[in-house]
Chains A and B, each alone.
Chain A
Amino acid sequence: MFKKKITFKILLLLIASDVLETAIHFFFKKGALAQSSLNVVDWASAQEFFKAIFASPFLWAGLFTVFTVFIIWSTILSKIDLSVAVPIASFSYIFVPLVSIIFLGERITLLRWAGILFILAGVILVSLSSKERIIQPK
C-alpha cells in the first residue's frame, strides 16, 4: 500500500506542481490575450485564430509546462495517496487569482473570493471522500 506520510521532498514536489500549474494557465492566457482582438464568428476566423495562437511561444511554453507537471504529478502519486495530494495541489485555486491580479491586472470582488473559497472547500471534500474506498476495500 502507499505511504501516507508527506516527506519534505514530496512537499517540495507538491509546491512545484502548484506553481507550475499556475504558470500553465498564465502562459495560455498570455497566448490567448494576444489574439483577443480576433473575433471568432465563423470557420475562417476560427482558423485564423488558431493559426495565430499556435504560433505564439507562450502557448508552447504552456504545453511544455503541462508535460512537466504530468511527470511531477505522476511521481507524487507514486508516493502518496490521491486524497492527500489533491487538497495540497488545490492551492492553485488561490494562486491563479493572485497571479491574475498581479500580472494580468484583473480585479476580483469579495463575492468572487467567496466563490473561490467554496470551490476550494468542495474540491478538498471530493478528494477526501475517495479515502473511504481505500479504507474499506471489498
Chain B
Amino acid sequence: MKEGLLLVLFLIALTSLCDTISQLFLKAAINSLNFVFTLNITKFLKFILQLLIKPWLWLAFVFSVVSLCIWLLVLSKADLNFAFSADSMHCIFIAVASRIILKEKFSSLRWLGTGLIVLGIVFVSLN
C-alpha cells in the first residue's frame, strides 16, 4: 500500500507538472500577442484566431492532453477525494515556475498560502 501511495503521488506530481508546462506555454502564446482585454467581440475573435496559429498554443494543448491521460490513470488507482486534494500541488508548481521563469513578483502572503497547501497535502496523504 505504501509503495502504491508513492506511485500515485508520483503520477499526480507528473500530471500537475504537465499541467504547469501547459499553462506556461499558454501564457507564452498569449504574452507574445500583447492583447489588451476587451469585450469587443470582433477584436476578441481576431485575438483567438491569432492565438490558434501560435506553435506555443499547440505545445500547450499537447501537454494538457498528456496531463489528462495521466490523470485518468491516477483516478483508476486512487480515491477521488485524495487525488483531487493532492492535485492542488499544481498551485505550488505554478508558483515556483512563475517566480523563476516568468520572473513574477511574490508577496509573503503568497508564500504563506503555498506553505499551507504543502502542509495540507502532507495531511491528506498521511492516513
* Complex contact B116–A33 (CB within 8 A): no
B6 proximity list for chain A (CB < 8 A): none
* Complex contact B72–A109 (CB within 8 A): no
Instruction: With CB as the reference atom, state the residue of chain A lying closest to B71.
Output: A28
> Quick one: which of B81-118 are within 8 Å of A by CB?
81-82, 84-85, 88, 91, 95, 105, 107, 109-110, 112-118
CB distance from A5 to the nearest CB of B (A): 17
A132 proximity list for chain B (CB < 8 A): 107, 109
Bound CA–CA A109/B79 (angstroms):
13
Main secondary structure of the interface of A (DSSP, over half): helix
Query: Does residue A64 face the partner (Cβ distance < 8 Å to B)?
Result: no
Interface size (A, Cβ < 8 Å)? 47
A53 proximity list for chain B (CB < 8 A): 72, 76
* Complex contact B126–A111 (CB within 8 A): yes
Query: Does residue B124 face the partner (Cβ distance < 8 Å to A)?
Result: yes
Bound CA–CA A59/B74 (angstroms):
14
Selected contact of A125 from candidates B74, B110, B118, CB within 8 Å: B110
A-B contact count (CB 8 A): 131
B124 proximity list for chain A (CB < 8 A): 112, 115-116, 119
Query: Does residue A122 face the partner (Cβ distance < 8 Å to B)?
Result: yes
Selected contact of A32 from candidates B76, B88, B118, CB within 8 Å: B76
CB distance from B82 to the nearest CB of A (A): 7
* Complex contact B107–A100 (CB within 8 A): no
Query: Does residue A36 face the partner (Cβ distance < 8 Å to B)?
Result: yes
A118 proximity list for chain B (CB < 8 A): 116-117, 119-120, 123
A35 proximity list for chain B (CB < 8 A): 76
* Complex contact A126–B72 (CB within 8 A): no
Bound CA–CA A97/B88 (angstroms):
14
* Complex contact A117–B109 (CB within 8 A): no
* Complex contact B91–A29 (CB within 8 A): no
Among A32, A127, A130, A132: residue with most chain B CB under 10 A: A32
Q: B: which residues have CB within 8 A of A?
A: 37, 39, 69, 71-77, 79-82, 84-85, 88, 91, 95, 105, 107, 109-110, 112-127
